[in-house]
Amino acid sequence: MDRPDWDEYFMKMAELAATRASCLRREVGAVLVKNKKILATGYNGAPKDITHCEVTGCLREEMGVASGQRHEICRGVHAEQNLVAQAAFHGVKTEGAAVYCTHQPCIICTKILINAGVDKIYYKNAYSDEFAEKLLEESKIKLIKY
């Protein structure tokens, strides 16, 4: 029997969430977990009831904006942001939870996850952001490469 351990299981769930992404640049998924229970999921894409980039096109791509720059002109909401928003919408407490992400969180998502009170962040694909890593270290949140 080839049964996945918990970390593998939750990372696969994050990868499954990423399949719902509507971003043209990168598909990202995230899962919020506490006591081996999934509390919320998120993926990157436009806010609810807003037309997705797959229909409108990617403004950042059209403008030649590099990855990690000018987040404010993107229609999309990051997976981690959607994860915390979904938890808030449903009244789910995020404090002490772990997050499994397909990609290392950017600085904006890092700050949101710090304020959400998560204890650990597992990620699969590197998205090196030295400032984000420094803030996580200072906040004592464990950043774990899966």
Instruction: Summarize the annotated binding site for Zn(2+) as residue ranges.
Output: 78, 106, 109
Q: How far apart are CA 146 and CA 50, in angstroms?
A: 33
Q: How many other C-beta atoms lie within 10 A of the C-beta of residue 125?
A: 12
* SS3 state at 67: coil
**CA 51 to chain CA centroid, nearest Å:** 20
Q: Which of 80, 130, 133, 137 is catalytic?
A: 80
Tokens 């043209």 locate to 24
Tell me if 59 sits within 8 A of 75, measured CB to CB.
Answer: yes
Query: Which residues define the annotated binding site?
Result: 78, 106, 109
80 is catalytic: yes
Query: How many whole angstroms separate alpha carbon 116 and alpha carbon 123?
Result: 17
Sheet strands side by side (includes 98-103): 37-43, 29-34, 98-103, 120-125, 142-145
Active site residues: 80
